[in-house]
Structure 1
Amino acid sequence: MNADHRPDPDTLLALAQQEERQRQSGRLKVFLGAAPGVGKTFAMLEAARQAQRSGVDVVAGVVETHRRAETEALLDGIEQLAPQSIAYRGVELREFDLDAALARHPALLLVDELAHSNAPGSRHAKRWQDVQELLARGIDVYTTLNVQHLESLNDVVAGITGVVVRETVPDAVLEQADAVELVDLPPPELIARLRAGKVYLPAQAERAREHFFREANLAALRELALRSTAAQVNARVLTLKAGTAPAATWSTRERVLVCVGADSSGARIVRAGRRLAAQLHAEWTAVYVDTPQHGVAAATREEIVASLRLAEQLGAETVTLSGRSVAEEVLSYARARNVTRIIVGRPARSSWRLRLRGGLVDALLRGSGDIEIHAVPSDAPPAPPAPPTTTAATPARPWPWRAYGLAAVGVLLATAGCYLMAPYFELANLIMLYLIGVVLVSRRGERGPAVLAAVLSVLAFDFFFVPPHLTFAVSDTQYFVTFAVMLVVGLVISELTVRERTQGEQARLRERRTAALHQLSKSLASLRGAAALLDAAVRHIAEVFEAQVLALLPDEQGKLTIRAGMRAEFTMNAKEQSVAQWVYDLGRAAGLGTSTLPFVDAVYVPLLGKRGAVGALRVRPADAARLVLPEQMRLLEAFANQTALALEVDRLGEEAREARLAADTERLRSSLLASVSHDLRTPLAAIIGSASSLVEYGEQLDDGERRELAANIQSEAERLNRLVGNLLQATRLEAGTLTLHKEAHDLETVIGSALARLATALEGRPLHTTLPPNLPLVPLDPLLIEQVLVNLLENALHYTPPGSPLEIGVEGHTDAVVITVADRGPGLPAAGEQLFQRFWRGGQSDHPSGSGLGLAICRGIVELHGGHIEASARVGGGAVFRFTLPLAPDAASAPPPQEPAP
């Protein structure tokens, strides 16, 4: 066997390790179906009974028969595990008992409905996670799955059927299965089973037939199931092939490879590949191999880029490879991808080099093996090229006089060294000095000067050191062999040195590209907001490509506007704006290095996300010749894709935040309605009752009773007013429409106003107020802070026994004042920050609950002032509420106050 065709040792080792893991763990077989009712459970039970007849210990962990008699009959004779009962919200749920299955440890366990979600309280949230644990414990598992439950097909199925499947299984579970058996049933037969009541009950069946079980839906799902099974089988084939016959081509599936070369026939070859792939219904790839042997002119680079972009537009995957030989790289890639046909261009004219050495077609034919080679005639030979002209896009490359001069100087230095060494060394040793000179010249990486150095070395050695000296005549014919060997060795050394330097430069370029992509990804991952993301992307792209970069995003009308750029003063004219808008609207690149508007001095790249274009980039490089290289264009597209992904993730995060805000607003609205319907009903009922008593029995009541009823009306009306005020205040805080009117105020006046409002409620309560002397004026909104004090005092009155004392204290600090409201009641529940949440109520049984808004309003008002509020238990019994107000008018926050001594 050819050494190049031997199996890869690393691949064999990986396969051996995989087989070892499979021996240690259980094997998974999935019975895959297109829809419910195709007979997956029936097929699984038939396979299980066959295994049981072969002596395998089979146990049914969970099997959903759906009361089908023929399915239940197959369960006869198979041991079944008792289900596990899990209590959830007052309901007993019966689930698969994983612990019982592990304790029983059969050789084969049947676990139906792989995508099932377990009841809350189970060890795993999903049944497929139970199966993974069973496999890890060495138990083989048979299971069933519908194709619509695959995670990657979730949105596809939703688009086909209009039904969003909630229970999904990661594709990796199916990909890691040891066997996948497709259980197939044509759509008409499945619909007939549905009508016969063999899938759902009659009422459910009718609804399913009108929505999910349409023949078109079932046909599409059937195709998805077939494709998924074929993909899993194909992946297994490629894995086995890599370890057994990497050089062979197994034509299990047609794959076409198109070779794009550095000539003008690339477009023709790409179109031929597209036609062949369409005829075969095959996947196809366009590949270009960049070799170090020959430089590529700027015009040729543009043709290569155009050909690869044409292939992308026609639906191909494009790949750029690097290697020493085009044929070797193409064949290696083709064997790795299991390609069956290669399309390559055939030269229109045969040169003497092709007759002697053979071309790419000959090399592919010699090494293709089972791969078919299609040679497409190239275009007619082009007309003689016009004299080169210097343009801004493709500057003419100057002749490297300096490099050739250095080559001549190197030979002169080697000759001088040989003159010094000639009296002491043989001629064979002097040759080594010339070869060292060739190596040093070749290290510059230019082939022409290296060849010149090799030739000049032979001539100088002959002229100066081979007798007769100072002439090119040779007295001994043996020196001709010396000259030939010296020339060949010099040329080989120069070629290898140049190639090694070129490959090193390519490796460094790839390393820089990888590092740049990594750095960009790292920067984008740590930033939030479109402006910051675009600034980071523009900075990295400008550094890597040495270019002016502009990032454009659409406004509300969909018109692109500049959002970030390395040159703040740079703007775009109307023509450039129209090009960028075209790129954004169609999602295709344009400008320099593309087939659309290639004459402009910049390239416009769309920022393509999963949901379409999110913006565009304008890149104007300082050296246009660099950017038209295929690998540079692909790198730029990678940068654009990374930026678009980051922008899309940021946008999705913003949408999620908006959705959460909308949900919170909706919950607030619902809570407000619930509060209005419950909390306001009590004072309204009391007011209506007292008022109706006055109206109906007023003349029969004495003055005291009438005054009592009137006082009750006033008290309940005030309570109702406070409730409505709290609701409005909470709504304004939630919506962010509450406006502060801060002024420097005396805190003693504010506290006095709050106590005056609660004078009636505070009767019979000992109240102690502590105010330090020389208290500074505090910047605050007096009405809002008065409301905070009223709410805290009402809360204390509500949850403390009648007659218990209350305390109000004020402490002055350098940057803030601290106000405390303390009581000697039963203390606080262990709720922490929950005390200040909307509609949270203490729930003490001795007191009726309030609306649950008072403390939430307090926190909102205090934080609006830039302060902080907290509650804590008081030493000796009771609770203390403490909040700070910063003394600086524009303070954003204040540190939590220290608890004073009791």
Structure 2
Amino acid sequence: MKDQGKLTVFLGAAAGVGKTYAMLEAARERLTAGVDVVVGFVETHGQAETEALLKGIPVIAKTQEYLGNHSEEVDLDILLAHRPQLVVVDELAHTNIPGLRHKKRYQDIEELLISGIDVYTTLNIQHLESLNDVVAQITGVTVKETVPDRILEMASQIQMVDITPGELMQRLKEGKVYVPGEAAEAIQKFFRPGNINALREMSLRYTAKRVDCQMELYMRNHGIAGPWPSGEKVMVCVSGNPFSVKLIRTAKRMAARQNAEWLAVHVALPGKMPQNEAENDSIEQNLRMAEKLGAEIVTPYGDDIVEELLKLARKRNVSQVIVGKPERTRFRELLHGSIVDKVIRKSHGISVHVISGRKEVSERELKLKTIETDDNPSKSRISPRWPWATVPYLMSIVMMIALTVAVAPIESFLGTVNILMLYLLPVLLIAARWGKLPAVITAGMGVVSFDYFFVPPFYTFGVYDFRYVISFAILMFAGFVTGTLSGRLTDQINYSRQREQQSSALYSLSRDLTAVDKLERVLDSIARKIGETLDGQVVILLPNERNNLVMGQCSTTDHFMTESEMTVATWVYERGQKAGKGTETLGTAKGLYLPLVTEQGTQGVLGICFFQQKEIVNPQQIRFLDAFAGLAALAINRIKLADEARQAHTLAESERLRTALFNSLSHDLRTPLSSIIGAATGLLEDHDSVYSPDARNDLLQTILQGAERMNRFVNNLLDMARLESGMLKLHKDWCDIQDIIGVAINRLDIVLAKRFLDIKIPAGLPLVQADYALIEQVLVNLLDNAVKYSEPASKILIRVKQVGQTLEIAVANRGNPIPETDLSKVFDKFYRLSSPLQVSGSGLGLSICKGIIDAHNGDIWAENNELGGVTIIFNLPLDYDLSDQVQVEGGD
């Protein structure tokens, strides 16, 4: 089988830029090169130069007639049979006329491609599905014919065709795009210079983005490490150092000058987590500033800063990296190494910009950094972490003393080597619990204790055997290594737990939101889940009928919303931007507020007040809240759309009911009314006794039949209204089905007068518990229906029998059978079968029967019988012991 064909799209900003001309020029080049080229469809708009390009190229198309007009369409069957190498098909977004194989032309092209045929086609950018709303917003024109994005994504080549707005306007005025009358109207409504420039920018950006994606795909497929210098992406390295602010601003200016994307990256190391709240807040402030300036925030997690930075840079095709070089002593750089030097040495093709900065704030200064209070900025306080920080060292001292006291009495039994191994135990325990520094200090105390008490000369810090120094070094190294590894493992566990908690919360919330369809339950699930995950009080505010925010849900009984907080939430709702605590907009508020935004607009506001109040909200928490807000907005919008759909369905059903009722009134009421009026008028005008007694009796019978027919019709309408409203209440009693059948026949005495009734009711039938009047109505409707759809003077059969724990009643006629596919539809409202007989009615009779039988927990169905007609059967349950009931006499 031949490989799938290749699609080439000639993309333009608007009609008239020359896409068709460029496509035909390319097709003629392929034809000259010996390629089998045919034209499936080309719209020349009567342009001589375009028609000239068509000469010599076979055209395979067909003319279809639709609504009196002749339209040229792609002849897909002939093209597939001919199987040329290349087919030229103009106007990719075209909608085919009814009757063709596919509704849209791009579906024809897909079939050609699947068959291995290459295709050239044209498209205007406004016809792309994902840009439809953007185009409508810019131009004020909603494009009806659109093409799915996947069609352009599958194209092997997109060729941009572009001219300046001035040239396009001139072509319009010269009538090269539309006829003169249409051109003037198009210029006023669509082809304005601003619209054309916006569409040109969209098409150019889309083409550039497509080229960039193709480039990255080529790099991955060919194992090229990258980056390529054809595009620019900037990455800035961010830390908790205040100097990072300068780096971020430099990166912003550089990206703005080059019109490039840029990323702000902070690498979290397992062994170098923020040691205090001030350092953590500084990192969060820097990342928030970068996000505010338009950067994409990326926070990878790894063991080596340089490796993680360069791995991310190559993965994202970053061409320029900005790093900072704080002022440090040369000795410190030699001791700890320089990140800048490592980045430069391992960059391999990535441009590295090094920004020098001031002296870095020391770790001790950072720990002792004072934080101004809200109430009194001049008053400062020191973090109260120090009492808890002494716990590991106190535990080390206690463990060393206890171990020394325990080992001293059995020193001769254990030996020096075993005692040294025992001193490793506290080191391992402290490392596993508190990390590297306490483990190293514990190892140092172990060396001192072992040397002083168990290494000769005893009770001194001197050693006679130099080999003990090696043992001391191994003990210290063990403490350093185990502490480092333990610290990294602990940080990784904490990080994994945090990510797992967030992922689990998002998954749980998304699962809960898809499982419920009530707005109250959705809001409760959102508020409760966010409050539990982020340790705060959550409120969800929704607009009322007057578009004012009101409380929708709160995660606790008491909420923090005051008049000032509601003002902040209203601002967020009106502008669609986050504000409140931790932001630079209305930051004095108690809560952080995020808009619940969807494509249909802002659905409400999500607010959270953290139980542990702090000056800066973690950017990760804000991004996490953004994800929650997105889910919440989609869920709320889904519920609203579902309600609107139900309302629309109800309105449609109401409209359908109204239409059906009007149709029924026009026929089923007017016909008997006309008969009644005509008969009554004749009787009133019979002053000379023209009518004989038999004729007068016939007129009176006509009046009676018309009245009874109207009565049945009105009863059907009332019964259906009761069923639809749920107001139908059963008044059950013990009933004899034979009596009910007799009453129903008497009610239809006139209708059944010319029919032969064949009734078979076996003896010994039990009584049934049912609503006498409603079952009688069911039988009346079934008998009336049997008469309408049967041959004149034919037989009507009524059969009753007991089947297990049910009583089964059947009404059959002789007429025309019902198609098998329509047997289940006869009980639908307003459904009427097509019949050669002149049948009147509203189509409600059988639907009412089904509603009544369903209310009795019975079943009703239709089937074709051997007489050529239809049998309607229903059953009623016998929910009692048949042996304890009185049986009724009956017979054939």
Residues 704/805 of structure 1: CA separation in 2 closer, same or farther (3 Å cut): same
Contact 1:829 1:842 in 2 (8 A): no
Aligned to 2:20: 41
Give the Cα–Cα distance (whole angstroms) in 2 for the partners of residues 720 and 185 of structure 1.
75
Is contact 1:86–1:121 with CA below 8 Å preserved after alignment? no
Aligned to 1:653: 642
Following superposition, the deviation at residue 621 of structure 1 comes to 5.8
CA contact (8 A) 1:687 1:712 kept: no
Q: Give the conservation status (yes or no) of the 8 Å contact 1:592–1:600.
A: yes
Structure 1 partner of 2:53: 74
| Contact 1:59/1:78 (8 A) holds in 2 | yes
Distance 2:585 2:383 in 1: 17
Q: Which runs of 5+ in 2 are unaligned?
A: 375-379, 880-891
> What is the rounded CA distance, in whole Å, between the counterparts of 2:544 and 2:388 in structure 1?
50
**Partner of 1:892 in structure 2?**
none
2:770 is the counterpart of 1:778: yes
Aligned to 1:292: 270
Q: With the length of structure 1 as denominator, give the TM-score of the two structures.
A: 0.80
CA-CA distance at 1:182 after TM superposition? 0.6
Shift of 1:743: 3.6
Q: Secondary structure at the match of 1:43?
A: helix
Match of 1:799 among 783, 789, 792: 789
Deviation at residue 137 of structure 1 after TM alignment: 4.4
Question: Matched residue of 2:824: which SS?
Answer: helix
Distance 2:225 2:413 in 1: 58
User: Which residue pairs with 2:298 in the alignment?
Assistant: 319
Equivalence for 2:154? 176
CA distance in 1 between counterparts of 2:834 and 2:286 reads 75
Match of 1:574 among 538, 562, 569: 562
Partner of 2:137: 159
Are the equivalent residues in 2 in contact too, given 1:34–1:147 (CA < 8 A)? yes
Query: 1:351, 1:598 → 2: CA distance?
Result: 42
Counterpart of 1:642 (choices 622, 631, 635) is 631
Residue equivalent to 2:168: 190
State whether structure 2 residue 57 is matched by structure 1 residue 57. Answer: no
Structure 1 pair 63/685, CA: closer, same or farther in 2 (3 Å)?
farther
- Report the Cα distance in structure 1 between the residues aligned to 2:97 and 2:403, rounded to whole angstroms: 85
Q: In structure 2, do the counterparts of structure 1 residues 127 and 349 end up closer, same or farther at CA, with 3 Å as the change threshold?
A: same
1:530-557 Cα distance to aligned partner (Å, 9 max, x none)? 2333344445445544555555544444
1:419 and 1:589 map into 2 onto residues whose CA distance is 69
Greater displacement, 354-363 / 656-665: 354-363
Check the 8 A contact 1:843/1:849 in 2, yes or no.
no
Partner of 1:891: none
* Structure 1 residues 661-676: aligned runs within 5 Å: 661-675=650-664
Deviation at 1:329, TM superposition (A): 3.1
State which of 718, 740, 743 in structure 1 corresponds to 2:728: 740
Q: CA deviation at 1:196?
A: 3.5
Alpha-carbon distance in 2 for matches of 1:394, 1:613: 41
Deviations 1:872-900 (A, max 9, x none): 33455543334567899xxxxxxxxxxxx
| Matched letter for residue 283 of structure 1 | E
Q: Corresponding residue for 1:840?
A: 831
2:186 to 165, 187, 208: 208
Structure 1 residues 872, 137: CA separation in 2 closer, same or farther (over 3 Å shift)? closer
Match of 1:371 among 334, 351, 365: 351
For the residues of structure 2 that align with 1:668 and 1:482, how far apart are their CA atoms?
Answer: 96
Secondary structure, counterpart of 2:14 in structure 1: coil
The secondary structure found in structure 2 opposite 1:113 is coil
Deviations 1:59-112 (A, max 9, x none): 3344344444333332323334354x8899999986434454444443333233
| In 1: Cα distance, 2:105 partner to 2:527 partner | 46
Deviation at 1:645, TM superposition (A): 1.9
Q: Are 2:392 and 1:403 equivalent residues in the alignment?
A: yes
Q: State the number of aligned residues.
A: 863
Residue 798 of structure 1, CA deviation: 1.0
* 1:456-483 deviation per Cα after TM superposition (whole angstroms, max 9, x unaligned): 3444454456554543224466766775
Deviation of residue 269 (structure 1)?
Answer: 5.5
State yes or no: 1:257 paired with 2:246.
Answer: no
After superposition, what is the alpha-carbon deviation per residue over 1:15-47, rounded to whole angstroms, capped at 9, x for unaligned?
A: xxxxxx9x9543322111122232222211111
- Aligned equivalent of 1:534: 523
Q: CA deviation at 1:834?
A: 1.8
- Give the SS at the match of 2:120: strand
Which has the larger displacement, 151-160 or 373-382? 373-382
* Structure 2 equivalent of residue 521 of structure 1: 510
Q: Is the 8 A contact 2:791 2:815 kept in 1?
A: yes
When residues 605 and 218 of structure 1 are mapped into structure 2, their CA distance, relative to the original with a 3 A threshold, is: closer
Q: Does 1:106 align with 2:96?
A: no
Closer, same or farther: CA 600–705 of 1 in aligned 2, 3 Å? same
| 2:749 corresponds to which of 735, 759, 783 | 759
| TM-fit CA distance, 1:509 | 3.4
> Is 1:143 paired with 2:121?
yes
What residue in structure 1 maps to residue 206 of structure 2?
228
Give how far 1:658 is off.
2.5
Give, in whole Å, the separation in 2 of the partners of 1:50 and 1:419.
101
- 1:291 counterpart letter in structure 2: L
Distance 2:712 2:167 in 1: 65
Identify the range of structure 1 (433-442 vs 299-308) with the bigger mean alpha-carbon deviation. 433-442
Higher mean alpha-carbon deviation, 355-364 vs 220-229, is at 355-364
Aligned to 2:889: none
Q: Offset of 1:48 from its aligned partner?
A: 1.5
For the 8 Å contact 2:278–2:369, the answer to whether it is kept is no
Please identify, of 807-816 and 172-181, the stretch whose mean Cα deviation from structure 2 is larger.
807-816
Superposed displacement of residue 49, structure 1: 1.4
Structure 1 gap ranges (5+):
1-20, 889-901
- Larger mean Cα displacement after TM superposition, 408-417 or 868-877: 408-417
Alpha-carbon distance change, 530 to 263 in structure 1, aligned in 2, over 3 angstroms: farther
Instruction: Give the aligned residue type for 1:873.
Output: N
Please state how far the C-alpha of 1:744 moved relative to its aligned partner.
Answer: 4.4
Structure 2: how far apart are the matches of 1:292 and 1:242? 30
Pair 143,410 (structure 1): closer, same or farther in 2 beyond 3 Å = farther
Residue matched to 1:714: 703
* Worse overlay, 794-803 or 714-723: 714-723
Could you list the per-position Cα deviations for residues 143-177 of structure 1 after superposition, in whole angstroms to 9, with x for gaps in the alignment? Answer: 22221121110111222333333332222332332
Superposed CA offset, 1:332-352 (max 9, x none): 333433344555666588797
Partner residue, 2:435? 446
Change (3 A) 1:635 1:861: same
Counterparts of 2:205 and 2:598 in 1: how far apart (Å)?
26
- Higher mean Cα deviation, 416-425 or 395-404? 416-425
**Which residue pairs with 1:725 in the alignment?**
714
Q: 1:506 aligns with which of 488, 495, 513?
A: 495
Question: Alignment partner of 1:608: what SS?
Answer: strand
Structure 1 position 204, deviation (Å): 4.5
Distance 1:32 1:361, change over 3 A: same
Q: Secondary structure of 1:223's partner?
A: helix
Provide the alpha-carbon RMSD of the alignment.
4.9
Contact in 2 for aligned 1:27/1:177 (Cα 8 Å): yes
Distance 1:730 1:779, change over 3 A: closer
1:217 is aligned, of 195, 204, 212, to: 195
Q: State the identity %.
A: 41
CA distance in 1, matches of 2:7, 2:410: 79
Cα offsets for 1:261-319 (capped at 9, x unmatched) = 22456666655554554454443333333222333222443444444444444444333
Q: Which moved more, 1:649-658 or 1:227-236?
A: 649-658
Return the alpha-carbon distance in structure 2 between the equivalents of residues 387 and 274 of structure 1.
Answer: 29
Structure 2 CA distance, aligned partners of 1:138 and 1:413?
83
